[in-house]
């Protein structure tokens, strides 16, 4: 690493990744002098971002290990589903400090949903004993395509009223009304991404950190996929990557999807589609969440249809797996269970080339409903503590401290 690149933010990245966790290792990794490393670490300690601990002695004075202090701030995260939502206050390691889950109908529109969400966050901060000024950012998981840079939903089929809605700006207003306006110059950082993306990020970082190519498929009301390559989400050029639910099946032109097209995978094999099929068969089922309950009870029609849905999704995943050659494919959402997993595996191993699946693990999610919350927290922390953003925030903190001292 060149000297000009080794800012305080770059040192923080080395420490957070575990690549260099002592002053000596930082000097060796960056080529910076001892005094320069010390000065930049002083900035990080002054901001409260680092803490020290005793290292292992190798026969002399033990070196002090440097650690990212994951308790110095908190993140507000929420996972919005179609009929309900889950919200939490988490520390910077993703540990849940307070959590709430309740009905919150996304079809009621963004103003209703975001206003209620801000009210929940105010209550959760009180419950966790965290003051509002410790909130460093907000991460929201939504069931629709997202233009990540602008935090805008783009033609989401199951989210009426959300297309192009200024989510970031409006949420800040609701947050200020219910939680309070933070005492800082910059607006509250608010990040939004697709739910399958964030579940993929949470699951990969927590359980498969060494997997260089990772795919997560969520099958609930709709169907979506998240792809993590070399530890980072692959979103495509405008956030459309992974929207496999709207790939058209050649043999089902009779089925109309919520997006307006016919033959979409989601219209045939999603939790919403299975709910409709079960209701038609005389088993009243309102949503993918109800399908989950039927599966848990071993309802025969639900088991049969879930396995068939896995086969139909498996047909599409043959192409996905052949293109990406992932090491791990994780299935999550309301349908994720043994029948669905069996159906996916049947089609994958039957139709994909043996070379493609030789080193592929096909698993169900271990994090379950928590995957989206953890992924949302990782999204916020990764962005706020990336080298360039971290340096800008440190500069603002220094300026604010200097100004207050005058």
Domain boundaries, the chain: 3-68, 74-196+371-405, 208-370
DSSP state, residue 47: T
Q: What is the pLDDT of residue 177?
A: 95
The Cα–Cα gap between 281 and 294 comes to 14
How many residues in the chain?
406
The closest alpha carbon to 110, from 166, 149, 179, belongs to: 166
The Cα–Cα gap between 309 and 303 comes to 10
Q: Which residue has the tokens 């639910």?
A: 245
The Cα–Cα gap between 85 and 78 comes to 7
Q: What is the pLDDT of residue 182?
A: 66
List, in sequence order, every residue forming a beta bridge with 216; answer none if it has no partner.
226, 330
Instruction: Output the CA–CA distances (angstroms, integers) from residue 84 to 102, 141, 142, 202, in the order listed.
Output: 6, 12, 11, 20
Q: What is the pLDDT of residue 402?
A: 63
Token reading at 66: 């440097």
The Cα–Cα gap between 85 and 372 comes to 11
Q: Which fold has domain 74-196+371-405?
A: Nucleotidyltransferase; domain 5 (3.30.420)
Backbone dihedral region for residue 371 (phi beyond 0: left; psi -120 to 50: alpha; all else: beta): alpha
Specify the 3-state DSSP secondary structure of 99: strand
Given a contact cutoff of 8 angstroms between Cβ atoms, the answer to whether 34 and 27 are in contact is yes
Q: Which fold has domain 3-68?
A: Arc Repressor Mutant, subunit A (1.10.10)
Specify the 3-state DSSP secondary structure of 363: strand
Rounded to the nearest 10 degrees, the angle between the axes of helix 8-17 and helix 34-46 is 80
Rounded to the nearest 10 degrees, the angle between the axes of helix 23-30 and helix 8-17 is 110
Backbone dihedral region for residue 181 (phi beyond 0: left; psi -120 to 50: alpha; all else: beta): beta
The closest alpha carbon to 246, from 226, 227, 231, 267, belongs to: 267
114, with CB counted inside 10 A (0-12, 13-18, 19+), is: buried
Q: What is the pLDDT of residue 405?
A: 47
For the chain, how long is the longest CA-to-CA vector? Answer: 76
Q: Name the helix (H) or strand (E) containing 135.
A: strand 135-142
Q: What is the pLDDT of residue 258?
A: 87
Other CB atoms within a 10 A radius of the CB of residue 401 amount to: 11
Q: Which residue has the tokens 């459309």?
A: 240
The closest alpha carbon to 73, from 385, 285, 391, 363, belongs to: 385
The pTM score is: 0.92
The Cα–Cα gap between 247 and 239 comes to 16
List, in sequence order, every residue forming a beta bridge with 215; answer none if it has no partner.
227, 329
Domain 3-68 identical in fold to domain 74-196+371-405: no
Q: What is the pLDDT of residue 110?
A: 97
Q: What is the pLDDT of residue 239?
A: 87
Q: What is the pLDDT of residue 52?
A: 85
Each residue's pLDDT expressed in tens, for the chain with a length of 406 residues: 444 568 999 999 999 999 999 999 999 999 999 999 999 999 999 999 999 875 544 444 456 899 999 999 999 999 999 889 999 999 999 999 999 999 999 999 999 999 999 999 999 999 999 999 999 999 999 999 999 999 999 988 889 999 999 999 999 999 999 998 766 668 999 999 999 999 999 999 999 999 999 999 999 989 999 999 999 999 998 888 999 999 999 999 999 998 889 999 999 999 999 999 999 999 999 989 899 999 999 999 999 999 999 999 999 999 999 999 999 999 999 999 999 999 999 999 999 999 999 999 999 999 998 999 999 999 999 999 999 999 999 998 877 666 554 4
The Cα–Cα gap between 313 and 245 comes to 9
Q: Which fold has domain 208-370?
A: Nucleotidyltransferase; domain 5 (3.30.420)
Specify the 3-state DSSP secondary structure of 33: coil
């Amino acid at each position: 690493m060149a000297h000009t690149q080794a800012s305080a933010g770059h040192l923080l990245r080395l420490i957070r990744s575990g690549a260099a966790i002592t002053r000596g290792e930082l000097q060796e990794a960056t080529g910076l002098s001892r005094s320069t490393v010390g000065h930049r670490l002083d900035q990080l300690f002054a901001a409260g971002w680092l803490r020290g601990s005793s290292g292992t002695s190798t026969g002399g004075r033990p070196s002090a290990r440097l650690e990212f202090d994951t308790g110095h701030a908190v993140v507000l995260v929420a996972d919005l589903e179609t009929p309900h939502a889950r919200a939490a206050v988490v520390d910077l390691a993703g540990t849940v400090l307070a959590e709430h889950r309740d009905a919150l109908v996304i079809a009621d529109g963004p103003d209703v949903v975001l206003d209620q969400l801000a009210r929940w966050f105010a209550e959760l901060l009180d419950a966790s004993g965290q003051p509002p000024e410790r909130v460093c950012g907000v991460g929201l998981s939504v069931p629709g395509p997202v233009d990540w840079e602008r935090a805008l939903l783009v033609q989401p089929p199951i989210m009426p009223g959300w297309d192009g809605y200024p989510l970031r700006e409006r949420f800040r207003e609701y947050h200020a009304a219910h939680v309070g306006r933070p005492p800082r110059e910059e607006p509250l950082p608010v990040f939004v991404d697709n739910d399958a993306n964030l579940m993929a990020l949470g699951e990969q970082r927590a359980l498969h950190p060494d997997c260089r190519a990772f795919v997560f498929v969520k099958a609930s009301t709709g169907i979506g996929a998240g792809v993590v390559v070399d530890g980072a989400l692959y979103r495509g050029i405008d956030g459309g990557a992974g929207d496999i639910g709207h790939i058209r099946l050649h043999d089902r032109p009779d089925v109309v999807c919520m997006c307006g097209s016919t033959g979409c995978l989601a219209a045939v094999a999603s939790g919403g589609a299975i709910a409709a099929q079960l209701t038609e068969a005389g088993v009243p089922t309102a949503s993918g969440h109800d399908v989950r309950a039927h599966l848990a009870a071993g309802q025969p029609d639900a088991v049969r249809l879930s396995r068939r849905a896995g086969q139909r999704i498996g047909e599409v995943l043959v192409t996905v797996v052949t293109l990406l050659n992932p090491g791990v494919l994780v299935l999550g959402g309301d349908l994720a269970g043994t029948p669905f997993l069996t159906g996916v595996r049947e089609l994958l191993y039957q139709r994909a080339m043996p070379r493609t699946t030789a080193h592929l693990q096909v698993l169900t999610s271990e994090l379950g409903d928590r995957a989206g919350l953890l992924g949302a927290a990782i999204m916020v922390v990764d962005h706020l503590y990336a080298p360039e953003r971290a340096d800008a925030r440190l500069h603002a903190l220094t300026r604010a401290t200097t100004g207050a001292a005058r």
